[in-house]
Amino acid sequence: MRLVAKVKVEHTDLGGSFVKPQSAKEAEVALERCAQRRCAVLTIGLKPRPLVLPVAPPVALYGARVADGQLGLKFMRVKQNPWDSASKCIQLSISGADPQQLTLLRDRINTLLLRAAGAAPAGGPAAENAAASGGAGKGKGGVGARPARRPLAPRSLNTLAATTGPSVSLGGWGSGSVVSLRSGPGGGVAPAASGFSLGTTSRQQLASSADSARSVPADEELGDLSDEQQRALQLVQSGRSIFFTGCAGTGKSLLLRHILRCLPRNTTFVTGTTGLAACHLGGTTINSYAGIGRGEGSLESLVRMAGRGESLQRWRATTHLIVDEVSMMDGRLFDTLEAVARKVRGSAAPFGGIQLILSGDFHQLPPVAKGREGAAQRKFCFEAESWARCIPESCFLSKVFRQSDNEFVDLLGKIRSGSCPQDKVSQLLKTCARPLPTDDGILPTKLFTHREDVDLINAQQLKALPSEPHKFVAQDVGSGEVLAAACPARRTLELKVGAQVTLIKNISQRQGLVNGARGVVEKFNDSQGLPVVRFANGRVLTISRERWTIASGGRLAAQRVQLPLDLAWAMSVHKSQGLTLDRAEVSLERAFEPGMAYVALSRVRSLEGLRIIGSIAAQALRADPKVVLFYTRLRQRQLAALGLGPAQFRTLY
Ligand SMILES: Nc1ncnc2c1ncn2[C@@H]1O[C@H](COP(=O)(O)OP(=O)(O)OP(=O)(O)O)[C@@H](O)[C@H]1O
């Protein structure tokens, strides 16, 4: 179908912000089948070159609306390169044509994309031609009909992102005779040189899903590894399954990011035990990777679930499986996964022959348990029957990087193992009772054990600021539920001058702008209204939008583009696990899990940055005896391997 209309085209830049639009008062808009590309294309007659959008995966439509005589369309282009760092979004506004024509156009685009994604009855090329030229989708709602906003079609979800390099954000909307876009000087839209292939086989999709889960490490600057970390990396490269562990701040997360860079892209899958842990690495939850839902039911039924479709392909394609924050995985789940892996892969080897790379500290937060009964039945991962078979190598990282004060490191070590004498605890409470200095205007983050305290404090403090609020609404693709559960960035972030904020993504390791770095909003810049943040280390930076991708079942389930900031007057201890905070005020009187006190207290770099409000609940200072025993044995094995005796324990660990 063809029509003539007023058109405005906008596209995103590397940070996900819309840049200078291109428009035409009278442009021809054509939706036609393109024989060369074997799909329908939407051509907008812009000058000097037309814009041609393939209406087929990997392009997906995630917003389509007819209102006030105007058709708004939002497309997202699927990532082609695993190291892509930009969001690729294009937004069209078409007006000045017959409103019924606009509605028809919207419906046909929807039909084509749904069909291409397999969500509509298959019609083959003939039906696709018909939809493009007007034979399908007739009469599906008129002007003002319900907006066709929907999550991305499943087959398009695996690899949303954009191409980096000189071409900005839209390179790849087409190739050959199809014009692709590149941001020209001044942010305008100009033709780009390179295109991309639209055809994706399931193998490619599978590969890209693994890739998408690995986009984070390439986006950030990583520091160098210590000798000890290098050795752990070499162990991974030797091909053996490994669990690496160590106190808080020994660089487990940093090491994981280095490891990711060394493993094969297409067959390494990155997972975490929680959505948050997975999201930090750009991966998926372990349950979702495995395709076993919540992991409940008989082994036979779980094997049936995992042994279908893409989950089966994923299991079979995997050579390396990374699981972060493994302390939060229940041992029963580990055994289940191990059995599923063997059955689905048809291999008797432990974990079906997959090389496992597990990371975590069992003295930090344990598997979630409901009530006292649940806690009593808790089974750690190392208690799994298959653990010893699957994990021939364990590696304890001993050098703490987060703190440099040896006395503080030693004290934290004792708290970690539940062996801190009461007089040391009292001394710590006394030392850390004083308020922290706030001369630079950066207030300490209050760490609470309960979520409701966190929300209340942040809302109250923001409201109390006299300055004008600035709202930043995320650009989301995919399921809002998935994003709410796993993405650290908020859907709507309200900031004001003077707001206390924390980075929720690593921006630069070398500059200390890492997940957890604290700052205060100084102003909003004039051009784009972005916040300018002064960090505790003195750096002042305009914060641009960042991208989070959430995978589910090996495919990209959702993406959020938002500022990498959160309000930081208060935060939950659970959310703080994995972070390095500059200043913290911890409240542990209501702590309810072993490891909670250790996680909270070990977030800061030094005692100077720590204040403790009130006392610490006794149970939060206890270590689980099973965990203590596990580490004692681990040390004994490692010392024996080094030919050392118990006297060297302290210096080594
Ligand atoms: N080799 C290294 N050289 C310098 N700094 C390092 C090194 N390894 C880690 N760090 C720094 O130490 C801090 C803690 O590292 P990281 O968060 O990786 O530790 P972790 O073991 O994952 O901690 P946690 O168990 O609390 O999550 C970070 O600021 C990180 O940049």
Q: Which two tokens stand for residue 617?
A: 């609940």
Of ligand 1's listed atoms, the one at least distance from the Cα of 514 is 29
Q: Please determine, for residue 149, whether its predicted confidence score (pLDDT) is greater than 60.
A: no
Residue length of the chain: 653
Interface predicted TM-score (ipTM): 0.98
* CA gap 555, 541 in Å, rounded: 34
Nearest alpha carbon, ligand 1 atom 9: 251
pLDDT, tens digit, 9 for 90 and up, residues 466-501: 999 999 999 998 878 778 877 889 899 999 999 999
579 Cβ below 6 A of ligand 1: no
Q: What integer best gives the mean pLDDT of the chain? A: 76
The one-letter amino acid at 137: G
Of ligand 1's listed atoms, the one at least distance from the Cα of 360 is 25
Residue located via tokens 């000189």 = 166
With a pLDDT cut of 70, the percent of the chain lying above it is 75
Q: What is the DSSP string of 305-370?
A: HHTSHHHHHHHHH-SEEEEESGGGSBHHHHHHHHHHHHHHHT--SGGGGPEEEEE--TTS------
Q: Please determine, for residue 371, whether its predicted confidence score (pLDDT) is greater than 50.
A: yes
Tell me whether residue 202 is exposed, middle or buried, using C-beta atoms within 10 angstroms of its C-beta: 0 to 12, 13 to 18, 19 or more.
exposed
Report CA(602)–ligand 1 centroid distance (Å).
Answer: 12
Q: Please determine, for residue 86, whether its predicted confidence score (pLDDT) is greater than 60.
A: no
Q: Is the backbone of residue 575 left (phi > 0), alpha (psi -120 to 50) or beta?
A: alpha
Q: Please determine, for residue 207, whether its predicted confidence score (pLDDT) is greater than 90.
A: no
Nearest alpha carbon, ligand 1 atom 29: 402
Main-chain dihedrals φ then ψ at residue 620, nearest 5 degrees: -75, -15
Report CA(23)–ligand 1 centroid distance (Å).
Answer: 49
Q: Please determine, for residue 292, whether its predicted confidence score (pLDDT) is greater than 50.
A: yes
399 Cβ below 6 A of ligand 1: no
* CA gap 235, 269 in Å, rounded: 18
Question: What are the distances in angstroms from CA 649 to CA 92, 390, 400, 634?
Answer: 65, 26, 15, 11
Tell me whether residue 509 is exposed, middle or buried, using C-beta atoms within 10 angstroms of its C-beta: 0 to 12, 13 to 18, 19 or more.
middle
Report CA(631)–ligand 1 centroid distance (Å).
Answer: 20
CB 577 within 8 A of CB 551: no
Q: Please determine, for residue 646, whether its predicted confidence score (pLDDT) is greater than 60.
A: no
| Residue 208, pLDDT score | 34
User: What angle, 0 to 180 degrees and rounded to 10, lies between the N-to-C axes of helices 309-317 and 331-345?
Assistant: 90
The most confident of 202-211, 313-322, 484-493, by mean pLDDT: 313-322
User: What angle, 0 to 180 degrees and rounded to 10, lies between the N-to-C axes of helices 299-306 and 331-345?
Assistant: 60
- pLDDT category of residue 120 using cuts at 50, 70 and 90: very low
Grouping H, G, I as helix, E, B as strand and the rest as coil, residue 66 is: strand
- pLDDT category of residue 451 using cuts at 50, 70 and 90: confident
Of the residues 228, 253, 257, which should be mutated to test ligand 1's pocket, given the most ligand atoms within 8 Å of the CB? 253
Please indicate whether residue 34 or residue 8 has the higher confidence score (pLDDT). Answer: 8
* CA gap 43, 50 in Å, rounded: 7
Nearest alpha carbon, ligand 1 atom 25: 248
Domains, the chain, ordered by start: 1-12+22-48+74-101 (no CATH), 229-397 (3.40.50.300), 406-622 (no CATH), 623-652 (no CATH)
Of ligand 1's listed atoms, the one at least distance from the Cα of 256 is 18
The most confident of 333-342, 510-519, 534-543, 579-588, by mean pLDDT: 333-342
